[in-house]
Amino acid sequence: METPLSEKNDTLFVNCHLATMTGNTLSIIEKAALAVTGKNISWVGKQKDLPDNYTSKCRKTIDCNNGWILPGFVDCHTHLVWGGSRSDEFEMRLCGATYEEISQKGGGIFSTVKATRNASNENLFIRTSKRVDALLKKGITTLEIKSGYGLNLETELKMLDVIGQLNQTSPLQIDATFLGAHALPPEFSDNADGYINFVIHTLLPAVRNQGIATAVDAFCEHIAFSPDQIRKVFEKAESLGFNIKLHAEQLSDSNGAAMASEFNALSCDHLEYLSLSGAKKMAAHNVAAVLLPGAFYFLKETQKPPVKTFRALKIPMAVSTDLNPGSSPVHSMTLILNMACMLFNLTCEEALLGATINGAKALGLEQSKGSIETGKDADLVVWDIDTPSDLCYLAGLNPVDMVMIKGDIYHNDLND
Ligand code: NIG
Ligand code: FE
């Protein structure tokens, strides 16, 4: 697990440019300086305007060599804890099998459920920490991780416990989401209502009691659960004080987003088949749209999410990896930025806002994360790029020079 490279918390960045991500734009400040005091950003502006007391000797000064500082990426939708591998299914899909066919034959999510049930807590923790460290080195500083590969009491709690341990031991803020209604487990085959009752009466109270998950998610789809079934889960989740979010309209239009909006969900995610009326409901309830181009790409989908409608209705668009072993084994936010532009026609500015401030909105963390503003957490990445759009354009490169989380440096390639 990463440990800070420097114990000194007061840092001054000079010779840098900033994309602060405020006011729904990149909000660029060229020839800038940025000061960090303790865990927070304490000054942001043009270097020539930097007050004298910010250059005092005790402060560690970092020369960014004209690099760009952006807020650390907020990856608001992942399934990072999993056992086993689905590379065999990847090869099956290359030969023409579809995600739904594999799922209907007991593969897909079910094969990961089997492997995750069989994995020890320790093994899951070690494997997932490596994934977290890899993401940190690529500029992700806040992460959401879902359960949902257990689908029984023991393994759902085990997954959430691993997420809780990661949040304690890794520098990233990691929010845990309970995704019990992800797929129908074999114990309840042909009895979806029975499983929904089990989620409501057994899993949800136990997850609340465990105290790690802050949100409840579900998969609303013909291969998973109906809006009526999920509504019952959300009613209980809401009464227990959880935030709500939903995998909605990924493979067909089930009207899930409209239902989740009635619970004032933080976000609805995927949304390729979202209808105009569903989008209007999301707008009316301030629900963020989380776009997941990695799953669209890996499943060779053709129906794109209604980006023009999101723009017209001013629905914040977040962009996330959806990192999981089946539909989106993509371990790179910059690659996802490229896909968001190339596959969903986002502008570079929209994609970058999606991976920062709108990702924070999708987690309800916009007060502390996702933009460069005084008082916010000093979660910052220095990039060796000529312009912010390089992060969308230079596909496959990882031009990270430095990663700071809450004022501590965890990765540093700058010769300071
Ligand atoms: O976000 N849509 C459902 N859940 C995941 C896929 C999980 C899996 O295939 O293992 C998703 O794409
Ligand atoms: Fe997902």
Q: Which of the ligands is closest to the CA of residue 294?
A: 1
- Which of 124-151 are b and which e, b meaning 16 or more Cβ less than 10 Å from the residue's Cβ? bbeebbebbbebbebbbbbbbbbbbbbb
The pLDDT tens digits of the residues spanning 88-107 come to 999 999 999 998 899 888 89
pLDDT, residue 303, reads: 98
pLDDT on residue 223: 87
Q: pLDDT confidence of 54, banded at 50, 70, 90?
A: confident
Is residue 8 over pLDDT 60? no
Q: Could you tell me which CATH class the domain 11-71+371-412 is placed in?
A: mainly beta
Nearest 10 degrees: CA dihedral of 231, 236, 241, 242?
A: -50
Indicate which ligand has the atom closest to the C-alpha of 324: 1
Note the pLDDT of residue 7: 47
Q: What is the mean pLDDT of residues 262-270?
A: 98
Size of the chain, expressed as the number of residues it contains: 416
Query: Is residue 9 pLDDT above 80, yes or no?
Result: no
Q: What is the pLDDT of residue 5?
A: 53
In the chain, the N- to C-terminal Cα span, in Å, equals: 24
Residue of minimum CA distance from atom 12 in ligand 1 = 327
Domain 74-362: which topology?
Answer: TIM Barrel (3.20.20)
Give CA–CA dist 354/307, Å, rounded. 12
Q: Atom 8 of ligand 1 has which residue's CA nearest to it?
A: 326
Report, as an integer, the average pLDDT of 289-317.
Answer: 97
Report the separation in Å between the CA atom of 393 and the middle of ligand 2, taken as the mean of its atom positions: 25
CB neighbourhood size of 255 (10 A): 18
CA 8 to centroid of ligand 1, rounded, Å: 41
| Residues 197-245 pLDDT 10s | 999 999 999 999 999 999 999 999 998 999 999 999 999 999 999 999 9
Pocket of ligand 1 (CB under 6 A): 79, 108-109, 112, 219, 247, 250, 295, 322, 324-328
- Please provide the average confidence, as pLDDT, over all residues in the chain: 95
pLDDT in tens, 188-201: 999 999 999 999 99
**pLDDT at residue 4 greater than cutoff 80:** no
| 335 alpha carbon, distance to own chain's centre | 14
pLDDT in tens, 126-162: 999 999 999 999 999 999 999 999 999 999 999 999 9
Which amino acid residue places its CA nearest to atom 3 of ligand 1? 219
Residue corresponding to tokens 């084994």:
329
Q: Which ligand is nearest to the CA of 76?
A: 2
What's the pLDDT band for 55 if we cut at 50, 70, 90? confident
Best mutation site among 221, 328, 330, 336 for ligand 1 pocket (most ligand atoms within 8 Å of CB): 328
Query: What are the domain boundaries of the chain?
Result: 11-71+371-412, 74-362
pLDDT in tens, 341-395: 999 999 999 999 999 999 999 999 999 999 999 999 999 999 999 999 999 999 9
pTM of the model: 0.96
